[in-house]
Copies of this chain bind each other. A is one copy, B any other.
Amino acid sequence: MPKIVDHEARRAELAEAMWRVVYRDGAAAATVRSIATEAGWSPGALRHYFTTQTELLAFAMEHVVAKATRRFYAGDWTGPVREVVQRMLEEVLPLDQQRVREMEVWLLLAARSPTDPVARARIAEADDGVRRATELAVVTLADAGLVAADRDVPSETARLHALVDGLALHALLHPDVMPPDRVRATLAHHLDDLLRPAG
């Protein structure tokens, strides 16, 4: 199916152009016009692939989620369990400029998701990836005997997932009160609590 392969390659090329613009100029700068210019296409040619900014953001998000998922599963997760789990979770937090930009795109899509099914589907996919990472973190700690026996894995996963997303939001919106070191320390403090019996 050479035509389909070509179509996919062209879409990937556009996603890469979009991310170059986002990393350089910020998420708000990603418009159909600016991405067309970056890719060396006419806006009309780009509109053959994406007709709205939401579709553009959704495809760029899909591209980043796929890359992050591959990187996550190919990662070197050897070492002391507690340190490995901390690193796994830091991977999904906006602790450097690149991931801050990715989260800005996430936030633009999330804001559209109550009314836009395309945005909603991509947000669900991205958030499911983070939920699975937090679940893996809790299960890994539990398997290593680092979670108190009476703690419930699904409850602790839901709580850790909320904490991780809240920290991500504060790191993005209020970096003055939640700089990277404080994000890491708050996460470490939370993992400490999992060691203690729930009641």
Nearest CB of B to A175, in Å: 10
| 1/0 contact string of A154-174 vs chain B (CB within 8 Å) | 010011011111110110111
Q: Is the CB of A182 within 8 A of B166?
A: no
Q: Is the CB of B166 within 8 A of A186?
A: no
**Interface residues of A: mostly helix, strand, loop or mixed?**
helix
Q: Is the CB of B198 within 8 A of A189?
A: yes
Within 8 A of B (CB), among A177-192: 177-178, 182, 185-186, 189-190, 192
Q: Decide: A110 near B111, CB < 8 A? Known: A166-B163, A166-B169, A173-B123.
A: yes
13 contacts between A and B (CB under 8 A): A26-B115, A114-B172, A124-B174, A162-B162, A162-B166, A162-B167, A162-B169, A164-B166, A165-B169, A165-B170, A169-B169, A196-B196, A196-B197
The size of the chain A interface, using a CB distance under 8 A, is 44
A163-B170 Cα distance, complex, nearest whole Å: 11
Within 8 A of B (CB), among A85-120: 104, 107-108, 110-115
Q: Decide: A26 near B111, CB < 8 A? Known: A165-B169, A165-B170, A186-B155.
A: no
From B115, B123, B159, A186 is in contact (CB under 8 Å) with B159
Q: Decide: A107 near B115, CB < 8 A? Known: A163-B163, A165-B166.
A: no
